[in-house]
Amino acid sequence: MSLPSIGDILMLSQLAWKIGRAFTAGRKGAPAEFLDVETAINGLAKALKLLAETLFAEADNGVLSKADNDTKSGVATILLSCQRTLQDLDSLLDQYQVITKQRTSGGFTIERSWSDLVLATYQTMMWTSEGGNIQALRNMVNMHTSTIALTMQASKSLSRLESTVSPMASKVDDIRDTGGDLNDKLEEVHRVVVGINGETPRIPPARDGGDDSRPPSSLRLDTRQQDNRSPESFTTA
């Protein structure tokens, strides 16, 4: 399993940012659960952006490039799991959101909103490919944020990175296995994260002190030395 590039991680951050903005689109009175998921996804977008920034800033030191194969594979596993969740959500948005044109004084605006079917059944419908409900989706997103934030924090020390990533990746990988309760698996990841870090990782403020609501594409990173693979490129060895 190949390591993702900085560009791959930024693409995931952009996707998360887009999904977060779309989740409560078109409904001022969106259900509280939708607002919770939106907040969680925005946190994930920020964690991915900060991971990309950290790897870029540490490029000369190259801690991740010096890590053993198990650690590199673990980082890829953590990011691949996040990618799958975001892609599943993106597909769900395309399937269940309605796009309408609204006439304005200057022409038209395009608006997205959830279908009436979703608003009527969101508490009982499946929101994850593992069959989880909307609370499980929020917990899944928070799990991705925690594991990515802890990976970022550990990436400045080779020994810490190698001791941190593999235990998390093993539990993250178990989530995709059939059988077992999804919430129990997510709780197990949380226990591992807290066991390593002592608490749920906190996401630090943006490095540039800028507005976290802006899209991750506004980062001024020179990724010309990175290859231009799509996120799908790190799904296989």
In a domain, 101, yes or no: yes
The whole-chain average pLDDT of the chain stands at: 83
Domain that holds residue 107: 6-221
In a domain, 235, yes or no: no
Strand ranges inside the chain, DSSP E: 97-104, 107-114
In a domain, 83, yes or no: yes
Contact 34, 127 (CB under 8 A): no
In a domain, 120, yes or no: yes
How many folded domains does the chain comprise? 1
In a domain, 80, yes or no: yes
The tens digit of pLDDT for each residue in 154-192 reads 988 899 999 999 999 999 999 987 677 888 999 999 999
The tens digit of pLDDT for each residue in 58-92 reads 766 678 888 899 999 999 999 999 999 999 999 99
In a domain, 237, yes or no: no
In a domain, 32, yes or no: yes
Query: What pLDDT was estimated at residue 101?
Result: 81
Query: What pLDDT was estimated at residue 207?
Result: 52
Tell me which residue of 227, 237, 236 sits closest to 9, measured CA to CA.
227
In a domain, 231, yes or no: no
Contact 162, 60 (CB under 8 A): no
